[in-house]
Structure 1
């Protein structure tokens, strides 16, 4: 019995040594902000499903920005975002419309399926039309979003120094192929594409066609994290975790072998970046780190990206915390 206990102790000690962050040097670099939809109007999350019109249940507005507009993206970068996440739909006239919803009825004064509507028609819509915080008594953004739905190429041209995480909203392979063609025609835009994600088929097609492009879908993320939990204690990094973007829900992170610094070093060596989401960031992985309390999920000296729905608050707060940390050293 004593011999068995000793063997168990030695094995446990080896596993601890292989995975303890106490003995690991954090990878170089500072925490970076990834702004979901730019700066936008947030909504109450309770009871939301795929059919919920979230524009009809926004919180009382704290600012005037509307998601996925060039103004909201510029504001996110001005508030310290390193990357802005945007949503795209390939329209019948072969333009990428930058807009979140599958249909137009919720947020705009139009109707119908976004990807089935020509960009010339989408340009005439008011993207702020449907927003209300008081059950429809007032609509504070009506008239302020007319003509504000941009194309992806307009985004690239307007914000040439910005970097974007592109969310394919469909499962159409041609979306990934069309993005690859755009980047081939205009190589200067390639450096602006931080990565792609969303629909598995277009995401994987874009990754196949664009050298060095990184991206993920729900299946690839679960494959990476699941396999790492299974045998990452050995120090081996699953192939699914190589050369990609790894979304880690904040409440799941402590269960990853070597979290935070040894895990981060392993992913960095595998050519991957970490995107830390909020607690319960499973499912579509879009729960954000959106408050000062949520920042407790972010490890000290974390060099990855944090996913937020409130870049206007988190960006300045993070900069303040980093400045205070540097002053204390």
Structure 2
């Protein structure tokens, strides 16, 4: 319950910050004569073909009566016009007038400028981290259809390329580790394929509806009787479903089955979600050091689990 309340408080705090930062609370959005809702109506009309009032209402999830009042105002101001559909004479379509197009182009430019000012002081890596975080937030918060179950399978042709690409994109975007992390991941994957021992090693690929959403590897370490967990990855679309824990549990069960006495892994202090999983499973932090192999100083860690 406390975690849920903390999350609610964090989301509400961000909402208060962001609505103020982008001008939502201004009487006229970005100093113009229209509210944010009215501007969104024009956005939907500008970016669609044969747009109907019902389509706009569905896209914005607004009451039909409220939308009708906004459309009437925009029509009186000469921003939009209604036309009978060429396909169905009973249906009305909406389009921007020449004046509406001119206004919308100006609004779009001002919106870009406002966001540019908001992120202008960020470094390139921080801008990439922000974009990744916002993509993750949208994925987690948007309504989800009934999801197909996630299945785990052994690696197949093409999986190593996917693992390398996803590690490069995610860690490069969120933590600014590109391109070094992609090179490191590619070497790990190549070594796995070149030296794969099916009796003692395994790669699990998590799939939902044929789409890859996660991975983890368990390989032989240089020390006999020790297995090494590598390349744990869960895509944003599958987070919150305990997939990371499930993948780690598979590694632990397999290592025990094969008679290993210990599992070791390498991670980083900033990877708090993964570290939380390792700690919950029973891994213990045994070593830390600082390196700049990814282009900037990071705290690396060794964790071990006695089996």
Q: Which has the higher strand share?
A: 2
- Flag whether TM exceeds 0.5 (same fold): no
Q: Which has the higher contact order (CA 8 A, sep 6+)?
A: 1
Q: Which has the higher helix share?
A: 2
TM-score band by shorter chain is under 0.3
What is the TM-score normalised by the length of structure 2? 0.24
What is the TM-score normalised by the length of structure 1? 0.23
Structure with max Cα Rg: 2
